[in-house]
Structure 1
Amino acid sequence: MKKVSTKITAFILIAILISACNAVKRVPDGKQLLVKNEIIVNNKKITEETVFNQLYQKPNSKLIGYRLRLNLYNLANLNPDSTYQAKFTNNPKRYEQMSKWLSAKQVDRLGKSFWYKGIHEFLKNTGEPPAILDNAKTDKSILRLKYYYFNNGFFNVKAIYKVDSVQAKKAKINYAITTGAPYLLDSLNATISTPILDSLYRIEKKNSLIKSGKQYKTEDFEGEKNRITTHFRNNGAYYFQPNYVTFNIDTIKKVNQANITLVINDYSFQDGDSTKTEPFKLYKISDVNIYTDYSPSKNTLNITDSTIYKNFNIYSQEKLKYKPKAITNAIFITKGSMYADYKTVLTTRYLNNLRIFNYPSIQYEVDKRDTTAQSLIAKVYLTPRKKYSFGTTLDVTHSNIQDFGIGLSVSETIRNVFNGAETLEIALRGNIGSSKDLANPRNNFFNVSEYGLDFKLNIPRIFIPFSTEKIIPKSMIPSTLLTVGFAKQQNIGLDKENFTGGISYNWTPKVNHTARFDLFNTQFVRNLNPKNYFNVYNSSYKALNQISKEYNTNPLYYDNSTDKNLLIEQGTAGFTNDVLTGNATFLKPLSAADFKSVKSIEERRRRLTENDFILATSFTFTKTTKKDLTDNNFYLFKTKIESAGTILSAIAKMANQKKNSNGNYDIFNLEYSEYIKTEFDYIKHWDLSKEKILAFRSFFGIAIPLGNSNYIPFSRSYFSGGSNDNRAWKPYGLGPGSSGALGDFNEANMKIALSGEFRFKIAGSLKGALFADAGNIWNVIDNVEDEKSTFTSFSDLKDMALGSGFGLRYDLSFFVIRFDLGFKTYNPANETNRRWLREYNFANSVLNFGINYPF
């Protein structure tokens, strides 16, 4: 607690030091620090960020109302070199004295050290120079404000500004704008010289962005230009460009109204030294030529092999290495069809998705064989990637199991492995890590390890015996992924061998929509060290050991006659068996509550030590509006439904297979899991401007055991807590329900999670966040009987935990390093009247380390 107090005191002292800084310290005499911009539009104060973005000059940024970066800059010595040299210029003997202890070179180097120079460079670069009021920039701001309102239909804008002194060397600017009435669009006409383009325009005219009665907006006219161009170019107008679309705007004899005339002239082109015009032509594709081994470094193509497949001409400079269908499946430009931009884009996207070529080049040229000059030859140039590529990856990891880990993976990728554009990846991976939560009797730092081997075969089509073109056309860029994997964990819990395999189909129904269907996903988990259970799950051992001291009479079960602690495995197994069978004599009659506790401990032990075989089928659908990595105003929705064991049970019933002694079916002498599982995940980001983002996430998942199972396997269960979940609790440290996380790795088969986060910029690449996380896990319709752990009605939602806190993130461009400090705000494990804010302190806080944002 003393360390915490010291840190808090240091933080307060730093805050006082920064607060004591003079904001106008570096403002020259006769100048003023701009502290505020105020915009009044039509006598009304506005706050719209889009309007304030028109200003050339803005005040220094604030963090929670405080100009942190300005004050950091003011703390810096802008000329540390001169200051350091001045120490010796004013006192030459000091330099001589220091040179006796250090060499002259070391004394000079000391002036470049962090404490003399580096800290000031850091403060200067992290900080922000004062925003000195500049009248020239203010004049430019007035012009931009006028343009902004003009572009939004206010053609008679008047704008002025006034500078008001606030304090010594501080000022604010008041902008006053009078817009007048907006101009509305009146009549709409079109003059299109080329008849065939006029016909195309009439077809899509109803989708025009320019409509009578709308307020004039320049962005609508730009959007209409692009819409028309896209429509024409997707219907054969190869040479059409947006600059051919112009608008005549007539406001003469109109009161706040404008007549609009759309004008599209004929095609203009250079012919020698003269410029000619002629009506636009619509072009058809006369040939599609595919060059499968094009090299940009060579000026000529020496074709030695070729073939024609379904009207596609395929050429190669060496022996053709690809099955024609594998290439032509990716080409949407077809002979005899009209030229269309979208087909070029779709072809490029599909070819790039094959991952066996570099980014493709598609070019068009007029077919000179056509006397009407209305045909194009499409030329698709493909540059193959290397058939074999070797890769290595070194990762520093952090997970819910490992506090720290180092992973190394080596992989070999083989492209076009079966001449059908398939890609085979073979990967060998290994990991060593440290986990303080796991059994570690030798107290080694690297106490966990894992290695594995994976095979992945990607086939660029739906790999199935029948055609799926009508259901999933090739425009959805379908692919099939076949996977086989093996992994072995050592010193991680019970140690495991994990065998996996599956066939999954992926496609994109629309832009930003993805679908995945796992025909089967199989997993066999074999526990190698089940006798280590009570060493790993120490809470279960303590509970069983405590009950044993009250009842046990068998000296063979405990370590010595004084402590009487149960031996693992002899004592724990023996005492549990005695309790459940009732075949022993105890120190006193066994209470019903203690019998229930022992039964619950044993059921959990059996569930977590049994080997699992899972054969599942699932469907996953994802939709997002995110355009790119810089888009901070989007939503993402993901849903998944999974069914396991249903097919095996159906086959067993059809084959009249007998059930085992537990009343369940088995395969390879192993009871397989049977359940149905569904999940819903929704993420929403709001861009609040000025690098402020509000992020929200909601998650609901439930897995219900069926037929062959009365519980969900550990690998398919849910947990709560951790750096990507409720950050006020450690991983597996929350729930189920209000039980208080009595086990070591608490899991359940239903989960609700809600998270909100306000993200903001602190300085440079350093970002901050305030967050709140709510949620919990529960058992439902399984073999858990504890009332505190189960969800029986909506009234159990009162057991949703709430954590809140703040975080720091450093953006390294390619990933983000994240630290979040979470505080238990509402803890459902406490008594009803002690749930709110009783643990809201540093002693009960949880510091989370993570890579990238949690959602």
Structure 2
Amino acid sequence: MKRGFFYILQLTMIGVLASCSATKFVPEGSYLLDAVAIQVDNKKIKSSELKPYLRQTPNTKWFSLVKTQLYIYSLSGRDSTRWLNKTIRKIGDAPVIYNENEALRSSEELTKVMQNMGYMGAKVHRNTKTKKKKLKLTYQIISGKPYIVRHLSYDIADKKIENLLQKDSTNSLLRRGMLFNVNKLDAERQRITSYLAQRGYYKFNKDFINYTADTVRNTYLVDLTLHVLPYKTDMNASATEHKQYRINKVNFITDYDVLQSSALSSIEVNDSIHYKGFPIYYKDNLYLRPKVLVDNLRITPGSLYNERDVQRTYTYLGRLAALKYTNIRFFETQVADSTLLNCYVMLTKGKHQSVSFEIEGTNSAGDLGAAASVSFQHRNLFHGSEIFMFKVRGAYEAISGLQEYSSNSYREYGAETSISFPNFLFPFLSSNFKKQIRATTEFGLQYNSQIRPEFSRKVASASWSYKWSNHPKIQHRLDLLDVSFLTSWLSDKFKQKYIDNHQEYILEYNYKDRLIVRTGYTYHYNSRGGALTDNTIASNSYSIRAGIESAGNLLYAVSRLTKQGKNSDGEYAILKIPYAQYLKADFDFAKNIRIDDRNSVAYHMGFGIAFPYGNAKIVPFEKQYFSGGANSVRGWSVRGLGPGSFPGDNNFLNQSGDMKFDASIEYRSKLFWRFQAATFIDAGNIWTIRNYENQPGGQFRFDKFYKQIAFAYGLGLRIDLDYLVFRLDGGMKALNPVYSNKKERYPILNPNFKRDFTFHLAVGYPF
């Protein structure tokens, strides 16, 4: 009781000191802007949507709770010339002093926003409350009755444009009965401009579109007219109809220097060739095959100018690793009254060859090690922007706890090579079909050797895959064929201990020679577009990733049709090598919700299942799931959780499963400089489909699985370097499904730092 009272007293004193220090640098007669609130009398309008229009906001809070940086700033002395004080002030934030003029400008901005939304009579009132040197400001918005579009008409003198817009009227953003929303009116201007730019109107822009809005007297009704103005070169020129432009010639310039003048006369050209009617100009030598350039062009001579074709050309040429920049320019022909455009595709050569080195440290359950790799990359191997890669890797780790073996080290050697083509390669398909797919084809070879005192394991694989994107936010990957051969060597001691008694069935299965022939497909959608996978504080976004793969089906069909015999383990084999057969599916959803410019909430949920059948009773270890680690339930170490309520037996192969569930939620907050912090809650586990003797409690059962979901909580620190994110996470167990008694099952009620805490060092966000 006394200890609890002492803690409360301490917290109270800290709060009082913090309150005092917050106003340390607030001048007399001024106030610290402590809080700002927006209250709207209309439920249809969210106050959060209006906050970006405020001209002055309070000091930021860590995790939306504490103004830590303000308190850090207040720790500095009053002598701003001293080094220590300057350093502390750079880390912290100066107090935001309430400014009456900024508050007035905020009221004006909020009024404009409400009017743009159709609430022309909206009013904004400001209320302030002061206490000592702190001020709380509230904007009360009375929206009033909105203005409604009663009648909608169009004034278009250009008959061609009028006919085009009539055909596209179903896509219009304007409707009778809509709110008189200025933002929607401007969006319609932009939509029409984009629509016409795809139909030859090269010089059309949204300034040629305006509106007339007549309000009906004593009502809240508006008669709206959309005007499309005729073309004028300037205010004094005579009005004419808008011209539809056609593409005349398309020229390639392959050695354009972006640092020099963009005038065509200043570009240095020594030679040229013509390919299928397209002139290609170059300086010394043509580093890309003409066919590659033409195949990635979507601008067609003789066709109407189309802005979408221009953007597609940018996208397709941007896929070529041999190029650094692409710039497309259009010039009207010199013939009088001509509506023809000459197109120049100007390309800047990229760096074609590079060598990179990587060094990393490893820590596996306290065993320290190091790894190094070197890779070579050529981005234009056959002058078609093919990417060739060759990489070798080596690793060493000292292993503890293996006194009965002569060696106590782990060594790994590996090599991989791949070649990627920027087009769809497949026999017996027409060139037009291949152009439409716009896929990247990749062939790869890999070899990996892992040598431990107890055993060694070698994996050789070959792959054939495709990647493509027909939408800026969607990516597809098809692994058409992936063949892996696994072979192992086991020491006599290891065999005697684990294999010869035939009780470690999972271990025995995974350490026999095995062939895996698989096919898979992955779909990835990111609402922010591009190849972004990390959810940051920058904006609201979400991503969906789904995949499916199968292995062994074709081989199993051949084995059955040819009536092959089975081996002693009851498996079909190819060249005396048994093959795996399974079906695997995964789904993952992640979402980021922006609270303000410094705080966000991110969460994700993932499911997966791998089902062995036919020629296998177990999914190969490389395709199984594990739980725990930096990207899973962070209260457990890597492969330290599950399956189910299985406590583990110091054999990492037994802590794998056929099903998984992962869920996490993080509150992310920017601190200072490039530092970010996060507080998180994780949940999840893995399960087996079948009941294995070596994994008691690991089988998935509908009446038990929800009781076996583990929970963890913790704090994290991240350093965001834009191109790389370093992450430190500390997780504590909250619910441990291994135990049934309350004291051990709920470590959140009886925490033991040594037993329940796990530290993780990782690169990138967890989801």
- TM-score when scaled to structure 2? 0.89
Offset, 1:344: 0.6
| Whole-angstrom distance in 1 between the partners of 2:555 and 2:411 | 34
Alignment match, 2:466: 505
Residue 290 of structure 1 is aligned with which of 252, 257, 265?
A: 252
SS in 2 for 1:22: helix
Displacement, 1:300?
4.1
Q: Cα 1:131–1:405, aligned 2, differ >3 Å: closer, same or farther?
A: farther
In the aligned structure 2, how far is the partner of 1:735 from the partner of 1:69? 41
Relative distance call for 1:339 and 1:144 in structure 2 (3 A) is: same
SS of the equivalent of 1:150 reads: helix
Q: CA deviation at 1:255?
A: 1.5
Partner of 2:607: 700
RMSD: 3.3
SS at 1:359's partner residue?
A: strand
Structure 2 distance, partners of 1:647, 1:176, is 69
Q: For 1:750, which of 659, 662, 683 is the aligned residue? A: 659
Who is 2:310 aligned against? 344
Q: Which amino acid aligns with 1:335?
A: P
Determine helix, strand or coil for the equivalent of 2:232.
strand
Contact kept, 8 Å, 1:402 with 1:434, in 2: the verdict is no
1:741 maps to what in 2?
A: 648
Q: Which amino acid aligns with 2:591?
A: K
Change (3 A) 1:604 1:279: same
Query: Which of 646, 650, 673 is equivalent to 2:557?
Result: 650
2:497 to 565, 572, 581: 572
Counting only pairs closer than 5 Å after superposition, residues 819-830 of structure 1 correspond to structure 2 as 819-830=728-739
What corresponds to 1:458 in structure 2? 420
Partner of 1:304: 271
CA distance, structure 1, for counterparts of residue 474 and residue 287 of structure 2? 33
Q: 1:392–1:410: 8 Å Cα contact kept in structure 2?
A: yes
Deviations 1:787-823 (A, max 9, x none): 5111143533321111122222232332222222222
Structure 2 distance, partners of 1:437, 1:269, is: 84
Say whether the 8 Å CA contact 2:32–2:133 is kept in structure 1: yes
Query: Equivalents in 2 of 1:634, 1:492: separation in Å?
Result: 48
Q: 1:440 & 1:481 partners in 2: Cα distance? A: 45
Q: How far apart are the structure 1 equivalents of 2:762 and 2:644?
A: 26
Structure 2 counterparts to residues 169-248 of structure 1, below 5 A:
169-248=133-212
- C-alpha change, 1:144 and 1:405, in structure 2 (3 Å) is farther
Conservation of the 8 A alpha-carbon contact between 1:367 and 1:375: yes
Residue among 488, 491, 516 paired with 1:531? 491
Alpha-carbon displacement from aligned partner over 1:176-218 (angstroms, at most 9, x marks no partner):
3333211112211221232212222212122122221111222
Given the alignment, which residue of 482, 490, 493 partners 2:443?
482
> Which of residues 830, 833, 836 is equivalent to 2:746?
836
| 1:689, distance to aligned residue in structure 2 (A) | 2.3
C-alpha distance in 1 between matches for 2:455 and 2:11: 47
Tell me what 1:35 maps to.
34
Contact 1:503/1:518, CA 8 A, preserved across alignment: yes
The answer to whether 1:73 aligns with 2:84 is no
Match 2:115 to one of 139, 143, 150: 150
The Cα shift of 1:737 comes to: 0.8
Note closer, same or farther for the CA distance 1:657–1:39 as it changes in structure 2 (3 Å cut).
closer
SS in 2 for 1:802: strand
In the alignment, is the contact (CA less than 8 A) between 2:107 and 2:125 conserved in 1?
A: yes
Offset, 1:457: 0.9
Cα 1:707–1:796 change in 2 (3 A) is same
CA contact (8 A) 1:824 1:839 kept: no
Q: For residues 151 and 439 of structure 1, what CA distance do their matches in structure 2 show?
A: 77
- Which residue number corresponds to residue 639 of structure 2? 732
State how far apart, in whole Å, the 1-side matches of 2:649 and 2:224 are: 73
The amino acid of 1:325's aligned partner reads K
Q: Are residues 397 and 463 of structure 1, via their aligned partners in 2, closer, same or farther at CA, if it must alter by over 3 Å?
A: farther
Shift of 1:734: 0.5
**Are the equivalent residues in 1 in contact too, given 2:644–2:698 (CA < 8 A)?**
yes
Measured at CA, do residues 707 and 38 of structure 1 come closer, stay the same or move farther in structure 2, by a change above 3 Å? closer
Question: What's the secondary structure of 2:237's corresponding residue?
Answer: strand
Where does residue 759 of structure 1 map in the other structure? 668
Q: Residues 791 and 42 from structure 1, CA distance in 2 versus in 1: closer, same or farther, beyond 3 angstroms?
A: closer
User: What amino acid maps onto 2:266 in structure 1?
Assistant: N
Alignment of 1:350-429 (within 5 A): 350-368=316-334, 373-386=338-351, 388-396=352-360, 407-429=371-393
Matched, 1:609 2:511: yes
CA 1:338–1:154 in 2, change beyond 3 Å: closer, same or farther? same
1:686 aligns with 2:593: yes
- Give me the whole-angstrom Cα distance separating, in 1, the residues matched to 2:495 and 2:243: 89
What residue number does 1:100 align with?
none
Could you tell me how far apart the structure 2 residues matched to 1:696 and 1:403 are? 33
Q: CA deviation at 1:747?
A: 0.9
* Cα distance change, pair 688–478 in 1 and its aligned pair in 2 (3 A): same
**What does 1:416-455 correspond to in 2, within 5 Å?**
416-432=380-396, 448-455=410-417
Q: CA deviation at 1:492?
A: 8.9
Mark the CA change 1:398 to 1:269 in structure 2 (over 3 Å): closer, same or farther.
farther
1:537 maps to what in 2?
none
Describe the superposition over 1:270-316 as per-residue Cα deviations: whole angstroms up to 9, x where unpaired: 6xx9634321111122222223444555824545341232x544444
Deviation at 1:348, TM superposition (A): 0.9
Contact 1:704 1:781 in 2 (8 A): no
Tell me the distance in 1 between the aligned counterparts of 2:172 and 2:690.
Answer: 55
Closer/same/farther in 2, CA of residues 780 and 179 from structure 1, 3 Å limit: closer
Contact 1:823 1:839 in 2 (8 A): no
Q: Is the 8 A contact 1:235 1:338 kept in 2?
A: yes
Aligned pair 1:514/2:475, yes or no?
A: yes
Q: Determine which of 767, 770, 775 is the counterpart of 2:684.
A: 775
Larger radius of gyration: 1
User: 1:137 matched to which residue of 2?
Assistant: 102
Moved more, 426-435 or 175-184: 426-435
Question: Are 1:846 and 2:755 matched, yes or no?
Answer: no
* Residue-by-residue CA offset, 1:19-57 (whole Å, 9 max, x unaligned): 475322221222222222244445999972222332222
Structure 1 CA distance for aligned equivalents of residues 444 and 647 of structure 2: 39
Cα distance 1:780–1:56, how it changes in 2: closer, same or farther (>3 A)?
same
Contact 1:643 1:677 in 2 (8 A): yes
More moved, 295-304 vs 499-508: 295-304
Q: Give the AA of the match of 2:444.
A: T
State the alpha-carbon separation in 1 of the partners of residues 188 and 23 from structure 2: 49
What SS does structure 1 have at the residue aligned with 2:324?
A: coil
Q: 1 CA distance for matches of 2:70 and 2:415?
A: 54
Distance 1:692 1:829, change over 3 A: same
Say which structure is richer in strand: 2
How many angstroms apart in 2 are the aligned matches of 1:421 and 1:230? 32
Q: Quote the Cα distance in structure 2 between the aligned partners of 1:474 and 1:261.
A: 44
Extract unaligned runs of 5+ from structure 2: 1-6
Q: Map 1:104-119 to 2 at 5 A.
A: 117-118=83-84
Question: Partner of 1:812 in structure 2?
Answer: 721
| Residue 263 (1) aligns with residue 188 (2) | no
Identify if the C-alpha distance between structure 1 residues 712 and 736 changes in structure 2 by more than 3 Å, giving closer, same or farther.
same
Percent sequence identity over matched residues? 28
Q: For residue 638 of structure 1, what is the aligned residue in structure 2? A: 545
Q: Which residue of the partner structure matches residue 61 of structure 2? A: 62
Counterpart of 2:51?
52
Whichever residue aligns with residue 274 of structure 2, its letter is T
How far did residue 749 of structure 1 move?
1.6
Please say if 1:720 is aligned against 2:720.
no
- Name structure 1 gaps, 5 residues minimum: 1-7, 83-116, 533-567, 581-598
